[in-house]
Amino acid sequence: MNDDPSPSFALLSGAPTRTRADVLVLFASEASKPNEVVAAVDQALDGQLLRAAREEGFRGKAEQTFVFQTHGRLPAGRVVLSGLGPAGRFDAEVLRQAAGRGVKTAQKLRGSTVVMALPELDPAVGVRAVAEGAALGAYRFDRYRTDGQDERVPLRSVRLLLSNGLVRSSRLERALAEGVRVSGATNFARTLVNEPAAHLTPQALAEAAETVGKAHGLQVRVSGPRELRKLRMGMFAAVGQGSENGPRLIELSYRPRKAAESKRPPVALVGKAITFDSGGLSLKTADGMMDMKTDMAGSAAVLGAMEVVAELAPPFPVQAFLGAAENMPSGTAYRPGDVLVSRLGKTVEVTNTDAEGRLVLGDVLAYAVERKPSAVIDLATLTGACVVALGNWMGGAFSNDDALAEEVLAAARRAGESFWRMPLVDLQKETLRSEIADMKNVGERWGGAITAAVFLREFVGQTPWVHLDIAGPSQAPRERGYQGKGATGIGVRTLAEFLRARARAS
């Protein structure tokens, strides 16, 4: 069980025609005229690169790639053209995707040293996007493969070639370092999500959080089942009571060095961490249970963001709360019909033990807002209904505060992650009416993602709050750009960008 070491990244200046590498990746748009870098390489190959590309139907469309063997005519063994789509319309995310596709192609060609030539975009934006796309694209989860059958070889080095007279500068070095750091955190989150539930128990997640805390100087506190009862988190404790692997409330806290800054209101990040969701006594079907080791993707994103928070060094505290439990059926499991007493004192009748995420999050959100945060953001693989609504490539964003919602959505756009604002429909709460308690945990089928969010809203009071339902985009159904099939690590980049922008503004 060996993990690939991550590739090393560096900036390089010089001519693409004189650059040694297993694979040289060039970006090309649909423009009728090739860009300077492509033209120079084509010229060194006597026009054969573009002629062959044209013959094989490569037109620079996004998602297109073309491979050319140089047979010793260039110091680079292969040239890969990666398409950017319509000229002048590509942005950082298109470039990220193209860079990811470029390294994946390079790895399939058994190349382990890759040089990527930056296209014409603001250079700091370009460096960052290419670094992220390459680092994310090189990710594989192969610690359980012993047969070496993966067609891709591990990537050793990626160098970003600055052309057009650009030279290395501290600004570009910083863009590179930031891109590599946030991608590393995303890949860390992907691995937590891909890890089987037998290994990634609530306690194992707590240990991962402690490792992150030690590496980055964060305070970590872990509470077990007895403490959850003492904290009167009756909903959270109930969800965890059916498993041999008991629940854990995992708290991480970043504090700025300056005393005045450390007294500011914190930003609170909350993650759902159901390490396995069998549905409990309201048992899922075999198919429905298949991917449920990934039901902790929200907390993986929060933990990934906490991995970069110390380097971002915002001038306000950041507190993370992971609600970790395994939802299992057993003789000690909570039952349909049980009435639970939440930390807020509200009582909840359980009508379906598979709607466990909102029970855990309700208690954790109530606890988080007691710290009087300026904002609380939760991430959760909360509802299948959200997958029905928005599919696998976009998450749902629910909020009680328009300004905060826009701040989070803008950060997501800059980071290249997709969320769509969804409404909190007040009338939806009627479906949660219970005969014997304050609420039920499940309403009608229709509008299920909204009802779940409306349930959560009961526990945040007046605190500005955004809930990101990532049940769809936590997993990619197929390979695309910098994404392989499997865990995406969605949320890490949005949270990191949110904190970075807020740090700058304050």
How many residues bind Zn ion, per CB under 5 A? Answer: 6
Residue 347 touches which of ligand BES, Zn ion, none (CB < 5 to 8 A by kind)? none
Position 487 contacts ligand BES (CB under 6 A): no
CB-nearer residue toward ligand BES: 6 or 352: 352
Residue with tokens 């057009």: 164
Please say whether the dihedral angle defined by the alpha carbons of residues 411, 415, 420 and 423, taken in this order, is positive or negative. negative
Q: Using CB under 6 A, which of the segments 1-9, 25-33, 229-237, 379-387 binds ligand BES? A: 379-387
Report the nearest approach of ligand BES to the CB of residue 387 (Å). Answer: 6
Position 357 contacts Zn ion (CB under 5 A): yes
Report the nearest approach of ligand BES to the CB of residue 277 (Å). Answer: 5
165-174: long-range contacts (C-beta < 8 A, 24 or more apart)? 166/13, 166/118, 166/123, 167/13, 168/11, 168/13, 171/124, 172/11, 172/123, 172/124, 172/127, 173/11, 174/124
Q: Which amino acid is at 1?
A: M
Token pair for 343: 């930390």
Q: Exposed e or buried b for every residue in 415-437, given b needs 16+ CB within 10 A?
A: bbbbbeebebeeebbebbeeeeb
**Which positions from 295 to 324 touch Zn ion by CB under 5 A, shown as an x/- string?**
x-----------------------------
Tell me how far CA of residue 371 lies from CA of 282, 322, 388, 462, 470, in angstroms.
34, 15, 35, 13, 25
Residue 385 touches which of ligand BES, Zn ion, none (CB < 5 to 8 A by kind)? ligand BES
Position 132 contacts Zn ion (CB under 5 A): no
Strand ranges (E), 289-404: 318-327, 339-341, 347-349, 375-380, 395-399
Whether 440 is catalytic: no
Whether 284 is catalytic: yes
Q: Using CB under 6 A, which of the segments 34-42, 152-160, 381-389, 476-484 binds ligand BES? A: 381-389
Report the nearest approach of ligand BES to the CB of residue 355 (Å). Answer: 4
Token pair for 65: 């790639």
Residue 442 touches which of Zn ion, ligand BES, none (CB < 5 to 8 A by kind)? ligand BES
Report the nearest approach of ligand BES to the CB of residue 392 (Å). Answer: 10
Please report, as residue ranges, which positions from 290 to 309 form the binding site for ligand BES (by CB under 6 A). Answer: 295
Please report, as residue ranges, which positions from 328 to 357 form the binding site for ligand BES (by CB under 6 A). Answer: 352, 354-357
Q: How far apart are the first and last CA of the chain?
A: 44
Token pair for 22: 């297993």
DSSP per-residue codes, 132-186: HHHHHHT----TT--S---SSPPP-EEEEEE-TT----HHHHHHHHHHHHHHHHH
Please report, as residue ranges, which positions from 251 to 280 form the binding site for Zn ion (by CB under 5 A). Answer: 274, 277
Residue 186 touches which of Zn ion, ligand BES, none (CB < 5 to 8 A by kind)? none
Specify the DSSP class assigned to residue 409: H
β-strands 375-380, 465-469 pairing = parallel
Residue 384 touches which of Zn ion, ligand BES, none (CB < 5 to 8 A by kind)? ligand BES
Q: Using CB under 5 A, which of the segments 25-33, 146-154, 290-298, 339-347 binds Zn ion? A: 290-298
CA-CA distance, 77 to 144, in Å (whole number)? 31
Please report, as residue ranges, which positions from 454 to 483 form the binding site for ligand BES (by CB under 6 A). Answer: 471
CB-nearer residue toward ligand BES: 55 or 287: 287
CB-nearer residue toward ligand BES: 354 or 458: 354
Report the nearest approach of ligand BES to the CB of residue 361 (Å). Answer: 10
CB-nearer residue toward Zn ion: 132 or 277: 277
Backbone angles phi, psi at 387, to 5 degrees: -70, -40
Please say whether the dihedral angle defined by the alpha carbons of residues 222, 225, 227 and 231, taken in this order, is positive or negative. positive
> SS3 breakdown of the chain: % helix, strand, coil, rounded to 5?
40, 20, 40
CA-CA distance, 238 to 223, in Å (whole number)? 15
Q: How many CB atoms lie within 10 A of CB 336?
A: 15
Among 62, 387, 466, 468, binds ligand BES (CB under 6 A): 387
- The one catalytic residue among 96, 255, 293, 358: 358
CB-nearer residue toward Zn ion: 409 or 452: 452
CA-CA distance, 284 to 160, in Å (whole number)? 47
CB-nearer residue toward ligand BES: 295 or 307: 295
Among 22, 42, 277, 326, binds ligand BES (CB under 6 A): 277
CB-nearer residue toward Zn ion: 195 or 277: 277
Tell me how far CA of residue 216 lies from CA of 89, 176, 346, 440, in angstroms.
39, 20, 37, 41
The residues binding Zn ion (CB under 5 A) are 274, 277, 295, 354, 356-357
Q: Please identify every residue annotated as catalytic.
A: 284, 358
The residues binding ligand BES (CB under 6 A) are 277, 295, 352, 354-357, 381, 383-385, 387, 442, 448, 471
